Homo-oligomer: A and B are copies of this chain.
Amino acid sequence: MAGNARRPGVSVASRVLDLLGAFDSEHPSLILSDLARRAGLPLATAHRLVAEMVTWGALVRSPSGAYEIGLRMWDLGLLAQVPARLRQVAAPFLQDLYGATLATVHFAVRDGTLALYVDRLSGSESLQLVSRVGARLPLHATGVGKVLLAHAPEPIRHRVFAELTPVTPYTITDPAVLDGQLARVRADGYAETREEMSLGACSLAVPVRDREGEVVAALGLTASSVHRNATQLVAALTVAASGIRRGMSHRMVAPWRDHPSAQ
List A residues at the B interface (Cβ < 8 Å). Answer: 11-17, 20-21, 23-25, 28-29, 49, 52-53, 56-58, 60, 62-64, 66, 68-84, 88, 91-93, 95-96, 98-99, 102, 111, 116, 121-126, 132-134, 243, 251, 253-257
Contacts and interface: CB of A to CB of B under 8 A. Distances in A.
A254 B62 contact: yes
A205 B73 CA distance: 27
A116 B72 CA distance: 12
B122 A95 contact: yes
Given A29-B81, A77-B73, A99-B99, A21 B122 contact: no
Nearest to A20: B76
A83 B11 CA distance: 32
A11 B53 CA distance: 11
A11 B82 CA distance: 31
Contacts of A53: 13, 17
Given A20-B76, A77-B76, A95 B124 contact: yes
Nearest to A255: B63
A124 B68 contact: no
Q: Ordered nearest first, which 5 A-B pairs have the shortest CB separation?
A: A77-B77, A92-B124, A74-B80, A12-B12, A78-B134
Contacts of A63: 251, 253-255
Contacts of A102: 99
23 contacts: A11-B12, A13-B53, A16-B16, A16-B17, A17-B53, A17-B58, A20-B76, A23-B79, A28-B84, A60-B257, A62-B254, A64-B253, A66-B254, A69-B79, A70-B80, A71-B111, A71-B257, A73-B73, A76-B77, A78-B133, A91-B121, A91-B122, A99-B102
A71 B77 CA distance: 8
B96 A124 contact: yes
Contacts of A76: 20, 23, 69, 73, 77
